[in-house]
Amino acid sequence: MIANNKTMGMDIKALLSTLWIFVLFNMIFRDLHEFGRPGFLEEIMTGTVNGVQITEGLMLIGGIMAEIPISMVLLSRVLKYRLNRWANIIASAITILIVIQNGPADLDDMFFATIEIVSLSFIVWCAWKWRKPTSGTQLKNLESIQ
């Protein structure tokens, strides 16, 4: 299915980057969706959410964890083949662990977490199946563009 650096007519780098954008939108909306939960704003104002004290260190860790999918949007486009494959596989695995570790608290969290895990698993699968194009394939692709 993935052959000659293409999947369903889409360049694999573009596909991976688009999948990371899809994952990010789901993560962001999942977080924003929490604001609709009764009592959530009051928890934030106290500085303790779900029994966890919000500290500068915790916010830094959260920022670092969020930066993984954010940076993969760009890195999926610019990294060379070998490093790109492994970066996508490793970043997806780490992000899956983060999603699982955060754990769904209610049905909408479970819904978004499921979509995120399935999407991240698809990123792993695409990166794993991605084969380095041969120079003949690259030449053929360049000729078809012209």
What is the residue extent of each domain of the chain?
6-145
Integer-rounded Cα Rg, in Å, for the chain is: 19
Q: How far apart are CA 28 and CA 44, in angstroms?
A: 17
Q: Looking at residue 40, what is its pLDDT?
A: 86
Q: Whose CA is closest to 116, among 34, 32, 20, 36?
A: 20
Residue-wise pLDDT for 17-51, tens only, equals 999 999 999 999 998 888 888 888 898 889 888 78
The one-letter amino acid code at 78 reads V
Q: What is the pTM of this model?
A: 0.81
Q: Looking at residue 145, what is its pLDDT?
A: 47
Q: Is 3 helix (H, G, I), strand (E, B) or coil?
A: strand
Question: How confident is the model over 52-58, as a mean pLDDT?
Answer: 91
Q: What average pLDDT is seen over the chain?
A: 86
Q: Are 11 and 108 in contact (CB under 8 A)?
A: no
Question: How confident is the model over 106-116, as a mean pLDDT?
Answer: 92
**Residue 67 clears pLDDT 50, i.e. is over it:** yes
